[in-house]
Amino acid sequence: MQLSDNATICVIGAGQMGAGIAQVCAQAGYTVLLVDAALERAAAGKAGIEKQLNRLLEKGKLDAAGRAAILARIEPAGAEQAYPHADLVIEAASENRELKFAIFEQADALTKPTALLASNTSSISITALAARTKRPERVIGMHFMNPVPIMKLVELVRGLQTSEATLNAIRSLAEALNKTVIVSADRPGFLVNRILIPFLNEACLALDEGTGSAEDIDRGARLGLNHPLGPLELADLIGLDTVLAIARVLEQDFGDPKYRPAVLLKNLVAAGFLGKKTKRGFYTYDDNGAKLGRAT
Ligand code: NAD
């Protein structure tokens, strides 16, 4: 079982990850139907992709004809219109278990029986998502990294029911998108976020305890550990709501209090300070996402 070159991929969720996934799939030549909770949001996701392609054009990495061809392959659509055409669904909606359960149930009901269903979830059990469908062997985790067009890694997650054929088909797709694959068993946070989220949470705790400033925590990781971004900058990039949601999955699904999220993280999310996407998190940002300074 392989996805054909002219396969149609339905991307659910047109936020920062869904838009990035749509972009790389269209760049690789696939037809993409981009769906969000409302058509306007899907259209806004496509407009964001156009901005990204314009930057590539300015840098001489893409020509005008290439840009036009990629954009022509991405169509904002409603879920009910899109699903029947899909050979593969890649779900990248908000990190909320009940929401993803509902999306998988609808996708299972409305796509052809041969379609594969993938989730870009950062932490939620693929086994549990698969159990919401009548085709659990065709369900898999396909966890892209942020920003999708730049980051080389895709983490594939095998649910208990995921078949070898599904794993192989999605591995081939990831390679066609020029990505390098790692495979994780279905455990909370998989491989990457199992390591990352405790690190980000610990940085929040250190900041909250007054151990050091936000700038020094980030500088410490950048210059002391050779990380390209410090943990607080990275949390702002990911989205603090997403970081908190993953921390809660780790805490709940492992049943281990060592994963409990920092109060500062919870408070920032409660205030609506979600990081770069709302222009304020640990730092403030301008309309183009450039860092302005530390949030007071
Ligand atoms: P985001 O907040 O930027 O986007 C989420 C999108 O989902 C929004 O546009 C929202 O309108 C949409 N949505 C909500 N309900 C929907 C529905 N019923 N149908 C369709 N769309 C719906 O979040 P994001 O950062 O793009 O994260 C999306 C997923 O990707 C999450 O599961 C997250 O854990 C995962 N992820 C995020 C990162 C990251 O760095 N942000 C990295 C890897 C994976």
pLDDT tens across 123-136, in order? 999 999 999 999 99
Kindly state the average pLDDT of the residues 237-260: 96
Which residue, 95, 50, 112, 99, is CA-closest to 76?
50
Assess whether 155 carries a catalytic annotation.
yes
Mean pLDDT calculated for residue range 63-87 = 98
CA of 107 to the centre of ligand 1 (A): 16
Contact 13, 92 (CB under 8 A): yes
pLDDT above 80 for 80: yes
Average confidence (pLDDT) over 73-81: 98
Residue 80 CA to residue 77 CA, distance in Å, equals: 8
User: In the structure, what pLDDT confidence band is assigned to residue 48 with cuts at 50, 70 and 90?
Assistant: very high
Model confidence at 13: pLDDT above 80: yes
**Å from CA of 14 to ligand 1 middle:** 7
- Write down the pTM of the prediction: 0.94
Q: What is the pLDDT of residue 43?
A: 98
- Active-site residue, from 125, 193, 233, 251: 193
What pLDDT is stored for residue 284 in this prediction?
98
pLDDT tens-place string over residues 152-190: 999 999 999 999 999 999 999 999 999 999 999 999 999
Q: What's the CA gap between 159 and 65, in Å, rounded?
A: 41
Structure confidence at residue 2 (pLDDT): 83
In this predicted structure, the answer to whether residue 246 has a pLDDT above a threshold of 80 is yes
- Using CB distances shorter than 6 Å, the residues near ligand 1 are 12-18, 35-37, 41, 92-95, 99, 103, 120-122, 143-144, 146, 238-239, 242, 277
SS3 per residue for 249-278: HHHHHHCCHHHCCCHHHHHHHHCCCCEHHH
Is 98 a catalytic site residue? no
Mean pLDDT of the chain: 97
**Other CB atoms closer than 10 Å to residue 128's CB: what's the count?**
16
Please name the residue that has the structure tokens 């998108």.
177
